[in-house]
Structure 1
């Protein structure tokens, strides 16, 4: 039996964070890994793993799918780690690890640029056309399993896993940031509302520090906008870039809390990482958050005001509730204003 990991479209973000340790864990098993040419590996893979690279082009992807159809034999296990089942049939036992919630259900794709929107529409068609009841499907949270069952009738098994890591507060360095947000720059990550919340706090004379992990090249439009808001409003926001796994772990140790305003996640890996590091979590009041964590404060991710209020509550700076006046007092004010 050969274990085939088919991941021709995984090279960054949470997908990469899970794929790399999975490849390391295959040690000793006969394995073929069909990988994105852009995926960087910091350490050599076990000698038992044969690696095939796929260029990030339409032709390259089709060739990768064709290779898979030829490689998988009866008795082999094929793990499709890039959300999509094989485009062509094969003789192996196919298992699909579904990580992208934009590929099924009712989703607003207009928030993406036309290239990403077109890719997602094609992948949604691909998933709907090729995903079969005979395939084993794995997802990472109960919320995702429920949505998939409602949308397609397919029953997925909830089977999350995490990289083996020594998340510990031992050796903690002095605090550098009040908050950290570990996320790439896709629209659903909701950076703009987070920055708008920081602007609201600044108008109230509050300047908590915040670190972001945006890529200066891939997210350059968003990064430029954030830099403008920082300069215009004197915000204490620093984009440190994506960094290595070790860099991100160090950022956790230097931060007081994780803030997580994302509107849609299949897993929310930073939530688990922060919980393992014993960091307080402020997050959107959404099902995916409660699937994997217990936040100390929650908020409406669509409201910068709600985000700002959650930050203030966490910092011990709650605002007084609105006290309604009596009808008589209201009329008195109106009469005085009228005069």
Structure 2
């Protein structure tokens, strides 16, 4: 029997990948048990021919689960960075997607830095309980090897992601920028907003579409203030994935100033929908694509200058990765 342990997944890109994996497992008709965060109960109450266990996400609850099911499963995929709390009688794969365990940007608040350093220590301690780590790119594999001294043959590079197909009915708006991301500190919204406002003040055209939800009141306040000042910031809030293609297909550029990513799924989605990529000059970007223009994400002026450089003349971006979901599925037996 297969266990998919996604106890620490409840939103963001991790949830997108989890939902995609579940869809593929349903098609495969494998015998699967899912361990899920209780906050996901309304979305995953019924998964056909599967056992679903919901619980509050905590190290203690997870420890009790593995203690009681030490010999229950033949294959385990831990889908949120952390290997099982104890050594179990199964082949264990751990999907790693939290790049903040590897390097925390300087701009991240002290409290957040302390939290991720502590989580990184837990991650390192539990590594002994997994057979393999699965990562989305070679750059993450190299960084894991550098930071945690992991053997290369214990890390598998298997990128996978659901496709979003182009929304053919939408007209692309000239000089339109979009940033698909939550507003955690490392996502770098403040520098982007300031750079765009400078761009608009200089040229008098352009729009910036953001996806900042009510979970980030400080960033929302900045957006509203800039809107009242006359800047064309469009915040669509949390958007269902089924509607994303409409927004990608109407934008000219995906602008991506994030300071840290394990994969950067919007980069892939945007290229598939015809956007050009203006992004941080960082490893995670080059791992998945050849961007049209890059900038220093720590420098508002550099972001502004990248927008100016685009101005209708940017080359097309090129995707460098591909979906390997079937390779992942072959491991789960």
- Indicate the TM-score class for this superposition, using the shorter chain for normalisation: 0.7 to 0.9
Shift of 1:271: 0.4
Q: Is the 8 A contact 2:107 2:186 kept in 1?
A: no
Distance 1:256 1:174, change over 3 A: closer
Distance 1:41 1:290, change over 3 A: farther
SS of 1:26's partner is helix
Distance 1:113 1:251, change over 3 A: farther
Shift of 1:95: 0.8
1:292 to 288, 294, 306: 288
Aligned match of 1:7: 6
Distance 1:43 1:175 in 2: 37
State the TM-score, normalized to the length of structure 1: 0.84
SS of 2:290's partner is coil
Shift of 1:103: 1.6
CA RMSD between the two structures: 2.3
Q: Is the 8 A contact 2:71 2:88 kept in 1?
A: yes
Aligned match of 2:181: 183
Aligned match of 2:24: 25
Distance 1:175 1:294 in 2: 23
The alignment status of 1:132 with 2:128, answered yes or no, reads: yes
SS of 2:218's partner is helix
Distance 1:308 1:40 in 2: 43
Q: Is the 8 A contact 1:182 1:270 kept in 2?
A: yes
Distance 1:316 1:63, change over 3 A: closer
Runs of 4+ in 1 over 4 A off after TM superposition: 40-45
Aligned match of 2:55: 54
Q: Structure 2 unaligned runs (5+)?
A: 315-333
Between the two proteins, the alignment pairs up a number of residues equal to 309
Aligned match of 1:89: 87
Aligned match of 1:307: 303
Q: Is the 8 A contact 1:257 1:282 kept in 2?
A: yes
Q: Is the 8 A contact 1:101 1:264 kept in 2?
A: yes
Distance 2:109 2:19 in 1: 27
Distance 1:109 1:62 in 2: 31
Distance 1:36 1:110 in 2: 30
The farther-off stretch of 63-72 and 192-201 is: 63-72
Aligned match of 1:37: 38
Aligned match of 1:66: 64
Shift of 1:304: 1.2
1:222 to 196, 219, 242: 219
The farther-off stretch of 129-138 and 218-227 is: 129-138
Distance 1:225 1:68, change over 3 A: same
Distance 1:43 1:34, change over 3 A: closer
Which structure has the larger Rg over C-alpha atoms?
A: 1
Shift of 1:41: 6.4
State the TM-score, normalized to the length of structure 2: 0.85
Distance 1:112 1:78 in 2: 34
Distance 2:232 2:79 in 1: 38
Q: Is the 8 A contact 1:78 1:95 kept in 2?
A: yes
Aligned match of 2:267: 271
